Every structure is written in structure tokens, then in C-alpha cells.
Homo-oligomer: A and B are copies of this chain.
Amino acid sequence: MTQVGGTPVPDTDTVLSEERLSGRTSEVQAARLERMARAAIELAGRGGYEAVQMREVARIAKVAMATLYRYYPSKNQLLLAAVRYEIRKLGDDVARRRPRGATPEVRAGEVFARAFQAMRNDPGYAHAALSVRQSPVPFGAHETSTPRDGHDATFVGIAAAAAWGPDHEITAEQYLALQMVESLWIGCTIDWLNGRLTADAADERIRFAARKLLT
């Protein structure tokens, strides 16, 4: 057990870790966490939300059901970890290749368009991510459970940084507008998944929404 030396700082590469336990996770634990979330992502890519079966995740991750549930207390929480991970990847991508649009609105729209492109590249993952992200928490649960369940995974921060720069403090109104664009992004993506919009139409609609709302 490589004890984490005096520093309680969580190491940065085990991005899938959940930090829900005593604050210190051994390397073996971190690896287990990552195996579980990766298994979920792989299964999602193969067949969407319903293909992510907990028994199968446990089998692929070489972990017992009880262990899986110790770290991720539900299928949705497991998938949320995966979603957070992917959103972080989007953030990294945006930081590396900043959108080059002329105005903040165009740049923000570019972020959402890229996110949609990522969904196009993995529709199974998209299906799982949106399934878990978009339904209301169990009725009444928001009173008792962890707040913001499922909505700490958001594009708003990334889009804000891309549009106005990483250090710019955005106004409440701008924040609201970004949330609205994100809502529409979700709606368009679901419509695309359900065959009601072509991918190109969805893409265009997303950019349109960003233009219209962020001015």
C-alpha cells in the first residue's frame, strides 16, 4: 500500500475517482474505481443505457457487486461519474484548442457544438449519459439526498471559459443564458437520438440557440 505521503491532496490522474470515502484512496482503490467507470463507458458505447448492466459492469471490472455498490450507490451514480469524466475531457479539449469565433456567443456555441460532435461519435454513450442526466431524481429525494445530484455535470463553466476567457467573471444573466443553451442542447441531442432530428439539423439548432440566447 503506497501510503499517500503527508499530502492529502488527491492525485490528479485518477480522474474517475469519486472521493466519497475517507478522503484517502489507495492506488488499488483508485484503479478499481477507474475499472468500474471504464466498464460502464464501454458497455454504454456498445448498447446505450440499458446495456450498462450492473452485473456485467462488475464482471468486466473484476469486482463484486457489493464493491461496485459501495463506491457507486446506484447505476445512475456510476454513469454520472462517467459523464463527469467525459465533461472534463471536453474541458481539456477546449482549453487546448480554444474556439476561435469572433464573438463570445459564437465561441460558446462552438463549445456546445463540439460536445454534440462527441455525442455523434459515440451514440451509445450519448444515450446513457442523457438518460441518466435528464430524468428527475426519484420523487421527493432532493429533500434527503445529496443536492444537485446529477447537475454538477454541466457544460456551463466550460462554455463560459471558452467564450469570455477562463478568468472572466460572467454576469448572472450570462450564466442564465448559458444554462438555457445547455437545456436546448439536451433537447436537441435527445431528439437526434430518438430519430426526430438529423445530426446536422440538431447541430444547426444548437448553434442557432447559442446565437439567439447569448446576445
Instruction: Point out residues on A near B: beta carbons under 8 Å.
Output: 47-51, 123-124, 127, 130-131, 134-140, 142-143, 147-151, 176, 179-180, 182-184, 186-188, 190-191, 193-196, 205, 208-209, 212-213
Give the nearest-CB partner of A209 in chain B.
B180
Residues of B within 8 A of A184 (CB): 180, 183-184
Residue pairs across A and B with Cβ atoms less than 8 A apart, 22 shown, are A47-B139, A48-B138, A48-B140, A49-B136, A130-B135, A134-B134, A135-B190, A136-B193, A142-B193, A142-B196, A143-B195, A147-B196, A150-B194, A151-B194, A151-B196, A180-B187, A180-B209, A182-B187, A183-B183, A183-B187, A184-B184, A213-B213
Residues of B within 8 A of A213 (CB): 212-213
Measured CA separation A122–B67 after assembly (Å): 39
- Among the interface residues A50, A131, A136, A138, which one has the most CB atoms of the partner chain B within 10 A? A136
How many monomers of this chain does the complex have?
Answer: 2
Give the nearest-CB partner of A193 in chain B.
B136
- For A136, give its contact among B130, B143, B188 (CB under 8 Å): B130
When A148-B196, A184-B184, A213-B212 are in contact, do A135 and B138 touch as well, CB less than 8 Å?
no
Residues of B within 8 A of A127 (CB): 136, 139
